[in-house]
């Protein structure tokens, strides 16, 4: 089997990524708009909220999926992202009705004859770890924005950090087909060492 070029996408794959990114950005934008309006007691423009979400989701979602894809290809598998239209619609409905985003816009499908449990676990872990690293980066940006009193950068960084942490935790749930189920099947102690501290950060900070 010929190795898939790392930066060559299948037909329609980039379209699936773009649509997923835009739809999830609108869903998160709606939540961000309402959250900041309540917390900071001023109305946030929906367009600005969606732009903030596009930056946050653009890093969180796109790099999460590209991490899965890159590691899978490195292991000699073929991989492509495919969106899930029904769950994209559900994400919008839940955001508008409940203020909660069910973030499962699609997944990277991996085709390989010799991908073992360890490799599958590493591939699955790559996405959430990418989100955690991005969250740390945005927290550092938030701290710098606070020092220099840049509210716009601060809002973007705070939203991006929160969304990346949420995406990492959500995807690490040990329930199929989420990443956590494959990480748990490979190394349950490693899964627990990442999941529970992350859950504490997300729910108690």
Measure the CA–CA gap between 119 and 70, rounded to whole angstroms.
13
Peptide bond into 55 cis (omega under 30): no
13 catalytic? Reply is: no
Q: 53 with 26: CB under 8 angstroms?
A: yes
Place of tokens 């109305």: 43
The contacts of residue 76 (CB under 8 Å, 6+ apart) are 1, 3, 112, 114
Closest CA to 171 of 203, 121, 116, 124: 124
Which position among 11, 13, 65, 113 bears the catalytic label?
65
Q: CA–CA distance from 134 to each of 22, 41, 127, 129 (Å)?
A: 19, 28, 11, 9
Active site residues: 65
């Amino acid at each position: 089997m010929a190795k898939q070029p790392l930066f060559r996408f299948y037909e329609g794959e980039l379209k699936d990524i773009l649509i997923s990114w835009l739809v999830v950005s609108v869903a998160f934008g709606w939540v961000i708009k309402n959250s900041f309006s309540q917390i900071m007691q001023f109305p946030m423009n929906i367009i600005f909220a969606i732009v903030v979400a596009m930056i946050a989701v653009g890093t969180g979602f796109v790099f999460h999926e590209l991490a899965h894809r890159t590691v899978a290809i490195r292991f000699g598998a073929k991989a492509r992202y495919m969106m899930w239209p029904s769950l994209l619609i559900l994400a919008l409905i839940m955001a508008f009705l409940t203020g909660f985003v069910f973030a499962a816009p699609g997944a990277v499908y991996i085709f390989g004859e010799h991908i073992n449990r360890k490799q599958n676990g590493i591939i699955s872990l790559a996405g959430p770890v990418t989100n955690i690293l991005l969250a740390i980066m945005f927290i550092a940006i938030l701290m710098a924005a606070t020092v220099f009193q840049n509210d716009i950068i601060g809002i973007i960084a705070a939203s991006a950090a929160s969304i990346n942490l949420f995406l990492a935790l959500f995807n690490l749930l040990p329930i199929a087909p989420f990443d956590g189920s494959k990480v748990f099947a490979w190394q349950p102690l490693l899964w627990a060492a990442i999941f529970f501290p992350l859950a504490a950060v997300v729910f108690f900070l």
